Amino acid sequence: MTRKLLLDTDPGCDDAAAIAFALGCDAVDTVGVTTVAGNSTVENTTENAIAVLEALDRPDVPVAKGCDRPLVKELTLAEHVHGDGGLYGELTQSGTAVDAHAVDFIIDQARRHGDDLTIAAVGPLTNVAVAIAREPALPNLVDDIYVMGGAAFEAGNATPVAEFNIYNDPEAASRVTQAAEPKIVGLDATNDATLPYDTVRELHDRNPRLEHVAKWCEYAPEIPATAERRDRPSLHDPAVVAAVVDDVVAFERHYTQIDTSGGLCEGQVVCDEPEVTGNPPNADIAVDIDASGFRDRLLDAYSNL
């Protein structure tokens, strides 16, 4: 049976690439896109989400605009990575978001689809945290909540220990981790979810829709290039879609907390790997990805667009 998928996102180039992945994948039916502030303002991420769907000839997928700032801290943008307005490429949008706020939309879809629904949150977790506060049963209503975020055992990309999405709203990430037992797909796996630039360039030649996808895939990487990744960008958010649709990501269960101290370690995903706290595991942490399998599934989905 086709899995229902709700994408909570802040487009963002790799967010747009993840939307394209989901739309081209036969294993999922994308029931909606909710937007949050992160890579750019929520006004921009909402316009970007609508423009991406229209560029991929899927204006039927509803977009719901969400939270415009983190729960506690000031908003940090990443337009230096994703381009002015949050998205490279010249896109226009004629449609509008639905009337419902993203938080209400998430709750409504969870109640409507129940455990047929998977939520993939690939931006800051503000919308999901507020939805759980409004409907505490949300994690039990849906099948799974996947999160793109964190650097449990790798270095961070926003600070030495924190990944951007979690660092952007650590209090929201803490709430989701405490309440939802999420599947956290962070830099430990997504750094290796790469697509060679030669392959990206080939996408440009296939059809006009894939020209847009290729631009999103070749965005400026937000982590310093290493020797083994200099010729291939990491596609963090598409890796989450791959984890939803197929068994390409390896997980370990750990007791996990998010640092909300406001200090140097703010936003760090802290896993009790040595099991010294005695607390039961509360999250599945991605520790590895089958990079070749990821690329195969990504390109298969893009070939369907």
Which has more confidence, 210 or 112? 112
Answer yes or no: is pLDDT of 72 > 70.
yes
What's the pLDDT tens digit per position in 143-177? 999 999 999 999 999 999 999 999 999 999 999 99
Q: Verify cis geometry, omega within 30 degrees of 0, for the bond prior to 89.
A: no
Per-residue confidence (pLDDT) for residue 224, from 0 to 100? 47
Cα three-residue angle 86-151-80, rounded to 5 degrees: 20
Whether the per-residue pLDDT at 222 is higher than 50: the answer is: no
Whole-number pLDDT of residue 163? 97
Active site residues: 236
Do the Cβ atoms of 36 and 8 come closer than 8 Å?
A: yes
Q: What is the percentage of the chain residues whose pLDDT exceeds 70?
A: 96
Say what the pLDDT of residue 73 is.
95
pLDDT digits (tens, 9 = 90+) for 73-126: 999 999 988 888 999 887 888 999 999 999 999 999 999 999 999 999 999 999
**249-254 and 3-9 beta bridge pairing:** unpaired
**Residue pLDDT, tens place only, 34-66:** 999 999 999 999 999 999 999 999 999 999 999
pLDDT recorded at residue 228: 45
pLDDT given at position 1: 65
Please say whether the dihedral angle defined by the alpha carbons of residues 221, 216, 228 and 244, taken in this order, is positive or negative: positive
Interval 238-274: pLDDT, tens: 999 999 999 999 999 999 999 999 999 999 999 999 9
- Tell me what pLDDT residue 225 has: 46
Query: Where are the extended beta strands (E) located within the chain?
Result: 3-9, 28-35, 63-65, 117-121, 144-148, 183-185, 249-254, 256-258, 269-271, 283-289
Task: Please answer whether residues 45 and 70 qualify as being in contact, where contact means their C-beta atoms are separated by less than 8 angstroms.
Answer: no
| Superfamily (CATH) of domain 3-303 | Ribonucleoside hydrolase-like (3.90.245.10)
Judge contact between 61 and 37, C-beta under 8 A: no
Residue 231 banded pLDDT, cuts 50, 70, 90: low
Domain boundaries along the sequence of the chain? 3-303
